Amino acid sequence: MIASRAVVCCLPATTLITLVGILTILTGCATMQAVPGQAQARPLQDAAAQGQARQAPAAEQAADVSQLADAGTHEDGGGDEAAAADEREARLMVYHAELHMVVSDIRNSLNAIQAIAEDHGGYLQEMAGNRITIRVPARAFHESVSRIQRLGEMTDRHVVGEDVTEQMRDLSIRLETSEKMRQRLLALAEKAEKLDDAIRIERELSRVIEKIEKLKGKIRYLESRIAYSTIRVRLNSPQPQRAEADRLPFQ
């Protein structure tokens, strides 16, 4: 090191300037060779970054689609379950019971059965001899049967629940169709110019109106059977019963 410093110091000034210039040129060339490599690497890095940027939204979009599909599946499944639950809750049932019993006092038992019906908001439909028929609200059907059973010894019991959902639906559809036909006939009657056309329309309109009234009557009857359940009871007794005539309301 000491020798090289001595040599440098001994060189003329012009020579030193020349050496410094050469070193500067060499350093610049090395820098220029390094920079193109970096310049070539940057486009590759930028391209990779752009590719990742394009892949990221695509991945996010795929995830969103998957989530929507899963949500749709859950919603469809939930909708089916809800529809099934609604279908079960919306079933229209008609309940009726036939009871055969042995009691000690037929007359008192008949009066007790009538009182049970009235306690639940029902009414007596028929009473004759040792038989009685009552109507009770559907919500009180099972409770009424249970109370009647406690009046004596049950010898026969027949309880039926009839599903009338489809029957009611069919009647409602037929009524709706007939109502639409009635409206169309009324519109045609207003536009009829010939007497023969008016007579034919009037005849058809009368037929449709009659059909509508019958359908409404069937629907009312079915609604009554749904709202009020029927309980028929036949009583027997091992003991002789005293004959007692039914009292008339005006006596």
Same domain, residue pair 69 and 100: no
Same domain, residue pair 223 and 123: yes
**pLDDT at 133 exceeding the cut of 80:** yes
Same domain, residue pair 162 and 142: yes
Note if the pTM is more than 0.85: no
Alpha carbon distance 215, 167 (integer Å): 12
Long-range contacts of 61-69 (CB under 8 A, 24+ apart): none
Same domain, residue pair 148 and 189: yes
Q: Which of 90, 119, 141 is the last residue of a domain?
A: 90
Same domain, residue pair 49 and 119: no
Instruction: Let me know: does 177 contact 154? Beta carbons within 8 Å.
Output: no
Q: Which of 49, 69, 90 is the last residue of a domain?
A: 90
Structure confidence by residue, pLDDT tens digits, 145-169: 999 999 999 999 999 999 999 999 9
Same domain, residue pair 206 and 97: yes
Q: Which regions of the chain does DSSP assign to beta strands (E)?
A: 93-102, 123-128, 131-137, 153-163, 228-236
Looking at every residue in the chain, the average pLDDT score rounds to: 76
Residue 209: both structure tokens together? 């109106």
Alpha carbon distance 114, 212 (integer Å): 37
pLDDT band (50, 70, 90) for residue 27: low
Same domain, residue pair 80 and 126: no
Structure confidence by residue, pLDDT tens digits, 30-88: 444 444 444 444 544 554 555 554 554 544 544 444 454 454 444 455 556 655 555 55
Same domain, residue pair 156 and 48: no
Residue 74: both structure tokens together? 């859950």
- Least Cα distance to 183 among 198, 168, 201 occurs for 201
Query: How many percent of the chain have pLDDT more than 90?
Result: 50
Same domain, residue pair 164 and 230: yes
Strands 93-102 and 228-236: parallel
Residue 19: both structure tokens together? 């050496």
**Within 13 Å of residue 117, how many CA atoms lie on the same side as its CB?**
22
Alpha carbon distance 89, 172 (integer Å): 19
Domains of the chain: total: 2
Indicate whether 250 belongs to any domain: no
Residue 250's SS3 state is: coil
Indicate whether 246 belongs to any domain: no
Same domain, residue pair 199 and 165: yes
Domain encompassing residue 51: 1-90
